Amino acid sequence: MRIIHYAAALALMLAAPGANAASARTADVLRPSAHPVELRTAPREISVTYTYKGQERTLDDFLGRTKTNGFLVLDGQDIVVERYTGAGRATRFQSWSVAKSFTSAAVGIALGEGRIRSIDDPVDRYLPELAGSGYAGVPIRALLRMSSGIDWDEARDAPRLQVAANKGYPIKTMAARQERGWDWGERFEYTSMNSFVLARLVTKATGVPYHDYVERKLWQPAGMESTATVGNDSHGDSLGYCCYYATGRDFARFGLLYLRGGKANGRQVVPASWVKASTRPSPANPRYGLHWWLGEGGDFTAAGFGGQYIYVSPRHGVVIVKSSTAAVRPDQEEALTAFRAVAAEVARTR
């Protein structure tokens, strides 16, 4: 799983909304649900070891090495592990690219409502400003699969994108200047600009600003308990590719929503068909679905730079949320190994 190069990501992090007082203003609010999904506190001792690269390791060691400041494990609606370091239940953690999976959910809801006719439609049908760009004629599905064909290098271009957003530059202008590097669908290329375009697609297709649509159709119906914020470029466009600031418990509720096939509080929030489609392998990358990273045995992950994760194990009925305080070298493969061991142990000790 490749999210973003370490050195480039460090520059991105330092330029991100929330990194300083000025940039913290460029965010929109998501108000919580009047009827939060109940998460019951039911702690129990979970002793986990796993083997990675031929070495036996412990969960505690992994969490320490990766500077974890928030770690939650759900067994259904029961919180069996909840740990914080220099943080707490009220802390709003930075999502980084975990936000991309929220954007995917918003697209799926808009599709289910008929606001988007088909994800095989070209994206410029809804965003005519892209008609002269590399996005012209590219189906929405290709953006979701990160195979849009845009000439993009995440390590080089994502930090530039974030700096531009932080300085208040209209990202839609940057999107309209993107060029085609290869045929869409030809190869997988992780591209944060794709996620911005999808967030803007939601706005244009629904007639409702992305953050308002997420609040009304996803955040509140999914039973989120706390206020969150979503980064924007200060020109009315949510970023879509990053910068949700939310509590660990609400990130866990999002994972629980997908564990339950898109349902929360007895209501179908995200179409079940979209949850299934999002977690099926893409032709260009069998480890990636529709803005979700895919694992083995049906598990899947929303993942962000620096060690931010929402891991879902349908096999074991477990959701894991991990947040980290600082840029550390990529730990994605080890994280998945550790999460699978945790999920298996939770299931074993029921």
Q: How far, in Å, are 193, 194, 208, 278 from residue 115 at the CA level?
A: 22, 19, 11, 18
**142 or 16: whose pLDDT is higher?**
142
> 248-259 vs 99-112: helix axis angle to the nearest 10?
40
Query: Residue 228: beta bridge partners?
Result: 30
What are the residue boundaries of the structural domains of the chain, listed by start? 6-348
Q: Give 6-348's CATH code, choosing from 3.20.20.140, 3.40.710.10, 3.40.50.2000, 3.30.70.20.
A: 3.40.710.10
Query: What's the pLDDT at 72?
Result: 98
> 192-206 vs 154-166: helix axis angle to the nearest 10?
50
pLDDT-based confidence at 329, cuts 50/70/90? low
Least confident of 16-30, 177-191, 319-333: 16-30
Find the mean pLDDT for residues 240-244.
Answer: 98
How high is the mean pLDDT of the chain?
Answer: 92
Find the mean pLDDT for residues 128-147.
Answer: 98
Give the tokens for residue 348: 């074993």
Handedness of CA 47, 52, 57, 59 (dihedral sign): negative
Q: How far, in Å, are 10, 209, 221, 263, 270 from residue 267 at the CA level?
A: 40, 23, 8, 5, 9
Backbone angles phi, psi at 303, to 5 degrees: -135, 145
Q: How far, in Å, are 75, 189, 201, 295, 297 from residue 274 at the CA level?
A: 23, 22, 17, 18, 19
The model's pTM is 0.94
Give me the count of residues in the chain: 350
Which residues, including other chains, have CB under 8 Å from residue 115's CB and lie 6 or more apart?
205, 206
Least confident of 3-12, 96-105, 321-330: 3-12
Query: What's the pLDDT at 2?
Result: 45
Question: Strands 93-94 and 244-246, how do they pair?
Answer: antiparallel
Query: What's the pLDDT at 296?
Result: 84
CA distance 297 to 275: 16
